[in-house]
């Protein structure tokens, strides 16, 4: 196998692109895909500070690595979910990464913000742990960015994540989620920062290869609550389709973004209010995060 760029020995074959690359040219390919995502969706400019939400996994640390090298002014945000050893280890990976590159890292503890860590929230709400966890993550990311005066939060969602989310939304025809599925969400209220996903053009296998070649030390284990999640089942189905027909995942997601998404955009704008308790944005009077915190407080 020869590198498409230099003709040297290739280390990675990308069937979806009908190409193979050597280690150096693969890294350049990877960075080009991130640059293209940022450019195409006008995610942020070189003058804007960017809050990078890092979980300690390969995707978000690979993203942070690229943005630092590209010269962006970044700050990391790690949300400590209090999920036993998993959180201790993933926090350690983020701290070591930030220290080695001399970049700032903010840490927020869900236990402090909500009143209990994710495993207790799971018991209190009797809902899948990911629902209270995802709600808290989205809320805290936005609030942390606002408080720090940063206009945009970047997450490490990759092509596989985005295709699996789309697959799940389509399976249930979730009409609220479909228009929100996008690599870049604009700010629709002064208290909502922009949310962007600069890795949406890159597969999980590609981010793993990039993290390996860049010698990024990341947490390999998944969150212990992720086992059996439907998103994992959807990823497996999409991977089987990808094996049979390289490019299937890409075509599914990009076809939706380019051709179908506009059809799902809501005609009427959603009315956004400020939560009477915390002042963050909600469609009601008390936001979902404050309701969750109340429920936790009553039970612990
Ligand atoms: P996940 O939902 O776990 O697949 O994570 C998707 C993205 O959300 C990651 O790539 C990160 O950018 C962000 N993220 C997930 N967990 C955390 C966390 N504990 N702290 C900060 N950001 C996170
Ligand atoms: Fe949120 Fe696992 S429950 S990361
Ligand atoms: Zn609130």
Of the pLDDT bands very low, low, confident and very high (cuts 50, 70, 90), residue 128 is confident
pTM: 0.96
In the prediction, which pLDDT does 265 show?
83
Q: Which one is predicted more confidently, 253 or 123?
A: 253
Beta bridge partners of 76: 52, 105
Ligand 1, pocket residues at CB < 6 Å: 53-55, 59-60, 77-79, 81, 137, 155-157, 161
Q: How many domains are contained in the chain?
A: 1
Residue 5 within a domain: no
- Residue 19 belongs to a domain: no
pLDDT of residue 126: 82
Please give the mean pLDDT across all residues of the chain. Answer: 95
Q: Residue 98's domain is classified under what CATH number?
A: 3.40.50.620
* Ligand whose nearest atom lies closest to the CA of 200: 1
Torsion sign over Cα 143, 145, 149, 150: negative
Is 278 within the bounds of a domain? Answer: no
Closest CA to 74 of 184, 6, 155: 155
Asked if the model's pLDDT at residue 66 lies above 90, the reply is: yes
pLDDT for res 51: 98
Ligand 1 atom nearest to 134, measured from its CA: 2
For residue 171, the tally of other CB atoms under 10 A from its CB is 11
Collapse the DSSP code of 198 into the 3-class scheme (helix H, G, I; strand E, B; otherwise coil) and give the result: coil
Burial class (CB in 10 A: 0-12, 13-18, 19+), 248: middle
Indicate which atom in ligand 2 lies nearest the CA of residue 128: 3
Q: Is the pLDDT of residue 213 over 80?
A: yes
288 domain residue, yes or no: no
Q: How far is the CA of 267 from the centre of ligand 1 (A)?
A: 31
Report the greatest alpha carbon distance in the chain: 65
Residue 6, in any domain of the structure: no
Residue among 56, 127, 129, 222 whose CB has most ligand 2 atoms within 8 A, to mutate: 129
Q: 3-state secondary structure string, 280-292?
A: CEECCCCCHHHHH
User: Ligand 2 centroid vs 82 CA: distance in angstroms?
Assistant: 10
- Asked whether the predicted pLDDT for residue 129 surpasses 80, the reply is no
pLDDT of residue 267: 63
Q: Looking at the domain assignment, is residue 4 inside a domain? A: no
Q: What is the pLDDT of residue 103?
A: 98
For residue 84, what pLDDT is reported? 94
Q: Tell me the C-alpha distance between 273 and 286, whole Å.
A: 9
pLDDT of residue 235: 95
If you compute the radius of gyration of the chain from its CA atoms, what whole number of angstroms results?
Answer: 19
Indicate which ligand has the atom closest to the C-alpha of 61.
Answer: 1
- pLDDT for 202-211, tens place per residue? 999 999 999 9
Show the domain range for 177.
Answer: 29-268
In this prediction, residue 131 carries a pLDDT of 84
Q: Which two tokens stand for residue 45?
A: 């400019």
Share of the chain above pLDDT 90, in %: 88
Q: Residue 283: inside a domain, yes or no? A: no
Nearest CA to 256 among 167, 175, 188, 124? 167
pLDDT digits (tens, 9 = 90+) for 154-188: 999 999 999 999 999 999 999 889 999 999 999 99
Question: 81 in a domain, yes or no?
Answer: yes
Own/partner contacts of 143-150, CB < 8 Å, gap of 24 or more, are: 143/278, 143/280, 144/51, 144/77, 144/106, 144/108, 145/51, 145/77, 145/193, 146/191, 146/193, 148/49, 148/51, 148/75, 148/106, 149/49, 150/48, 150/49, 150/50, 150/51, 150/75, 150/193
- The pLDDT value recorded for residue 268 is 63
């Amino acid at each position: 196998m020869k590198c498409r760029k230099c003709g040297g020995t290739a280390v990675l074959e990308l069937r979806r692109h009908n190409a193979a690359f050597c280690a150096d040219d693969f890294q350049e390919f990877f960075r080009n895909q991130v640059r293209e995502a940022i450019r195409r969706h006008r995610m942020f400019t070189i003058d804007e500070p960017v809050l990078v939400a890092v979980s300690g996994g390969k995707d978000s640390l690979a993203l942070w690595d690229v943005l630092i090298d590209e010269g962006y002014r970044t700050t990391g945000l790690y949300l400590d979910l209090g999920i036993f050893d998993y959180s201790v280890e993933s926090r350690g990976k983020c701290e070591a990464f930030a220290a080695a590159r001399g970049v700032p890292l903010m840490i927020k503890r869900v236990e402090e913000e909500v009143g209990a860590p994710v495993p207790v929230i799971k018991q209190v709400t009797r809902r899948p742990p990911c629902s209270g966890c995802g709600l808290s993550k989205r809320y805290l990311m936005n609030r942390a960015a606002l408080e720090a005066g940063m206009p945009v939060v970047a997450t490490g969602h990759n092509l596989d994540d985005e295709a699996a989310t789309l697959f799940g939304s389509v399976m249930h025809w979730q009409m609220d989620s479909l228009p929100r599925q996008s690599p870049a969400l604009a700010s629709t209220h002064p208290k909502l920062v922009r949310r962007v996903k600069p890795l949406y053009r890159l597969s999980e296998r590609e981010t793993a290869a990039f993290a390996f070649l860049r010698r990024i030390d990341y947490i390999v284990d998944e969150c212990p609550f992720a086992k059996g999640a439907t998103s994992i089942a959807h990823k497996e189905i999409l991977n089987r389709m990808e094996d049979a027909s390289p490019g299937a995942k890409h075509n599914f997601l990009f076809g939706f973004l380019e051709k179908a998404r506009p059809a799902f955009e809501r005609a009427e704008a959603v009315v956004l209010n400020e939560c009477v308790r915390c002042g963050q944005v909600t469609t009601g009077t008390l936001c979902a995060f404050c309701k969750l915190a109340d429920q936790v407080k009553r039970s612990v």
